[in-house]
């Protein structure tokens, strides 16, 4: 971030884990002491965070501390910082005056770099919701192998997602900036993407939001949130799947409580994706959210002077919800 000292972009040498693994593999012990000596070396991982261990396969178990391409000791703080860096990059780029003989390639490049920061941060944050801290401890350690992420930590990660990825104020840029996104004419891959010369912000933003919706509305998260009740003394302190869906719906459909008569393309795309998931999987919690949303849509349509586009979007949404809830087959679930 601005005015911060520049840190190393890559590790400048061997890390603590490297030295630990080398010592375990090559340290010499007397034959009678080898078993106890190796056990003592291996036990250091329980007290030294720098020696944490997991495999690529462990990245799918729902532990927010197990991630690829993450060298931090606090993925939540790291993700928040990546989002802040992306926003700072956009702010500085939009205010950046270019020399008269320069092209606008840097504008598009920096927009994409910021969006990439958001895309990489979504799974880091989503993993906290319904997340589980895991350990490979042996029986002698007398500790839990699976511990639900504290509810406060889950809610903190959810708050960041709602405020950065699902808020109506996210991904807003000056029209003058968006009309000056130059392309690198020497980039051989420039024409390979779906956007070609033009840059489709709604397409890229929706891809980021889909990733978050896929996780937050998934069966895996619903199951982990429900299973957490058996692992804590007071289940009332937990984040529930119902609370998660209520808060997500409130963020996605915040325009229903706002005063602006328009709902732009970025928001309509997101709302359709959310609606698609509600309509396709009307489990008990989703049905409740769908019923509440249908009532809000009906009230909003009757009480507000929406633009023609917004009114059509909301009317279609209400009809889709009504049709989904009339379906005779309801999927069992949480």
For 255-284, give the secondary structure using H, E and C: HHHCCCCCCCHHHHHHHHHHHHHHHHCCCH
* Chain centroid, CA 113 distance in Å: 17
User: Is residue 194 over pLDDT 50?
Assistant: no
pLDDT score at 273: 96
Give percent of the chain with pLDDT exceeding 70. 93
Confidence of residue 1 (pLDDT cuts 50, 70, 90): confident
Query: What is the rounded distance in angstroms from the CA atom of residue 306 to the CA atom of residue 294?
Result: 17
Confidence of residue 63 (pLDDT cuts 50, 70, 90): very high
Confidence of residue 56 (pLDDT cuts 50, 70, 90): confident
pLDDT score at 304: 75
Task: Convert the pLDDT of each residue in 85-140 to its tens digit.
Answer: 999 999 999 999 999 999 899 999 999 999 999 999 999 999 999 999 998 888 88
Confidence of residue 319 (pLDDT cuts 50, 70, 90): very high
User: Is residue 159 over pLDDT 60?
Assistant: yes
Query: What is the rounded distance in angstroms from the CA atom of residue 198 to the CA atom of residue 279?
Result: 33
Structure tokens at 130: 């319904």
- Contact (Cβ atoms closer than 8 angstroms) between residue 48 and residue 16: yes
pLDDT score at 91: 96
Give percent of the chain with pLDDT exceeding 90. 64
């Amino acid at each position: 971030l601005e005015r911060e000292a520049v840190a190393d972009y890559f590790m400048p040498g061997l890390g603590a884990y490297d030295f630990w693994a080398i010592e375990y593999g090559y340290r010499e012990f007397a034959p009678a002491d080898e078993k106890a000596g190796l056990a003592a070396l291996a036990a250091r991982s329980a007290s030294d965070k720098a020696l944490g261990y997991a495999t690529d396969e462990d990245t799918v178990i729902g532990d927010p501390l197990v991630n690829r391409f993450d060298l931090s000791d606090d993925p939540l703080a790291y993700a928040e910082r990546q989002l802040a860096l992306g926003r700072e990059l956009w702010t500085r780029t939009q205010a950046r005056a270019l020399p008269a003989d320069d092209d606008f390639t840097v504008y598009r490049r920096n927009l994409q770099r910021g969006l990439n920061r958001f895309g990489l941060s979504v799974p880091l944050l989503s993993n906290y919701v319904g997340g589980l801290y895991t350990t490979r401890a042996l029986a002698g350690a007398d500790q839990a192998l699976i511990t639900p992420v504290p509810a406060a930590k889950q809610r903190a990660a959810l708050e960041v997602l709602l405020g950065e990825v699902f808020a109506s104020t996210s991904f807003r840029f000056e029209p003058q900036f968006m009309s000056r996104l130059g392309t690198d004419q020497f980039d051989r891959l420039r024409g390979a993407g779906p956007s070609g010369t033009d840059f489709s912000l709604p397409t890229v933003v929706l891809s980021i939001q889909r990733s978050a919706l896929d996780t937050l509305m998934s069966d895996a998260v619903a199951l982990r949130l429900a299973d957490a009740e058996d692992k804590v003394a007071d289940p009332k302190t937990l984040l529930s799947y119902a609370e998660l869906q209520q808060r997500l719906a409130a963020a996605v459909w915040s325009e229903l409580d706002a005063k602006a008569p328009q709902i732009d393309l970025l928001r309509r795309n997101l709302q359709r994706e959310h609606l698609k998931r509600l309509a396709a999987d009307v489990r008990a919690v989703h049905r409740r959210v769908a019923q509440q949303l249908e009532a809000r849509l009906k009230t909003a349509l009757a009480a507000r002077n929406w633009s023609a586009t917004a009114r059509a979007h909301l009317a279609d949404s209400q009809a889709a919800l009504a049709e989904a809830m009339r379906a005779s087959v309801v999927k069992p679930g949480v």
